[in-house]
Amino acid sequence: MADSEPGIGKKILSFFIKDIDEVASTPVRPAPGRPAPGRPDARPAVAGEPSQPVAAPATVTNAAETGQIDKKFVEHFVNLLEKANLPGPDYFEYKQALQSMEGLGLGEEKQFQAAWASFKAMGGAKETAVLRTSADQYLGILGRDRDAFLKDVEKAIKDRVGALQDEHQKLEEANAAYAQQILDLQKKIEENKNRLGQISGEISEQTAKINTNRDSFETTYLSFVEQIKADLAKINQYLQ
């Protein structure tokens, strides 16, 4: 597709979007780079505040009508393909011809064949290899952009989420340590309870031993005292 052709971006957009009027509120325009893989416009959360809900992205219906796709990324990819547009008739001219076959009542195979005839009539290459080659080039451009975006995602996760992940890990480790301390304390409490039971038995045993010893002492003491008192009484009686 020639770079000088007007409305290239709009035509490319029409290949991938069901209704290009859906993006009228955000017209396609050259972008300085791929959209950031995060939420640069989101206000940072304040400690103690509940997390703010993530707003749903603005979407448009894809050309196949199989789902909704993010409007900002549609804009990004259209600009990317517009800048990478190859000179001369290629996959995009064929796609435009194929698009013009819609509504003619032709089956899918006939549409592709008629579009190929129209493409050649426009002065396009006579071999279908040009379609495959140019389409593969555009796929390569999209793939490389995806690889770069995923690297940005990894960096964003590391930069923005890394600190939270570190805090999460530290809290998990602290909780595990506290849980172990609780287990240790519970074990110590059980050991103390067992010892308390043993001590109660030992107290009873030692008390019984001491009381028995005291009783023996008293019995022996009384025996001595009574013997001496008895002797003393007889001394007083017989030795006046």
Q: Which of 123, 114, 92, 116 is nearest to 10 (CA)?
A: 92
Integer Cα distance of 132 and 129 in angstroms: 5
Q: Which of 110, 33, 128 is nearest to 72 (CA)?
A: 33
Mean pLDDT (the chain, rounded): 81
Say what the pLDDT of residue 84 is: 79
DSSP state of 146: H
For the chain, the farthest-separated pair of C-alpha atoms sits apart, in whole angstroms, at 166
Evaluate whether 69 touches 60 at the Cβ level (below 8 Å): yes
Evaluate whether 68 touches 80 at the Cβ level (below 8 Å): no
**What tens digit of pLDDT does each residue of 59-83 get?**
877 766 777 878 888 888 888 888 8
Say what the pLDDT of residue 111 is: 87
Evaluate whether 36 touches 155 at the Cβ level (below 8 Å): no
Instruction: Give the H/E segment covering residue 61.
Output: strand 59-61
In terms of DSSP H, where are the helices of the chain?
A: 8-16, 71-83, 91-100, 108-121, 129-156, 162-238
Say what the pLDDT of residue 33 is: 57
Q: Write out residues in the chain with pLDDT < 70, as ranges.
A: 1-8, 17-57, 63-64, 124
**Using N-to-C axis directions, what is the helix angle for 8-16 and 91-100, rounded to 10°?**
60
Integer Cα distance of 95 and 57 in angstroms: 28
DSSP state of 42: S
Evaluate whether 19 touches 64 at the Cβ level (below 8 Å): no
Tokens 């030692």 found at = 206
**What tens digit of pLDDT does each residue of 151-166 get?**
998 888 888 888 888 8
